[in-house]
Structure 1
């Protein structure tokens, strides 16, 4: 079963937002893609809506068990950026294979 792991958040410090984006798009991405079961990631930024949560990342993972692994738990979180993350949510979606609609 393939799972889509969707993370949404806002960032509350405009002065360090560019640095945080670089961290997320390099260190965070590379670290999580190094965890067995993490396959792919895409990052998104909201456009055109005033009240939208600004950032979203979509991670493709092998299964829900990936999020319980010691490798994942060792690097999970926001690091030094924790206090700047607001409106954080995560949602998990299971794939609907063709013919099982």
Structure 2
């Protein structure tokens, strides 16, 4: 679980997850464009690939190859496991 927190500690990786939550199944080219336009993150494609690798290693991103393209998909199940470990009590009205 520590790896998930380490992965989420980086603002670029959080922005990548935001973009995949907004529109799942994007290519590296699409993600780089959206990061530059919406988040003013102008990292190289190689740097973004490394960030995606960290997210993939902890199970937050899965990659599917279709021909010469790779499509990246978010998987928020590991985050549900975190919230299950420390459930937030319901507030009384």
Structure 1 and Structure 2 fold alike (TM over 0.5): no
Query: Structure 2 length normalisation: TM-score?
Result: 0.27
Structure with the bigger percentage of helix: 2
- Considering Cα pairs closer than 8 Å and 6+ residues apart, tell me whether 1 or 2 has the greater RCO: 1
Query: Structure 1 length normalisation: TM-score?
Result: 0.26
Structure with the bigger percentage of strand: 1
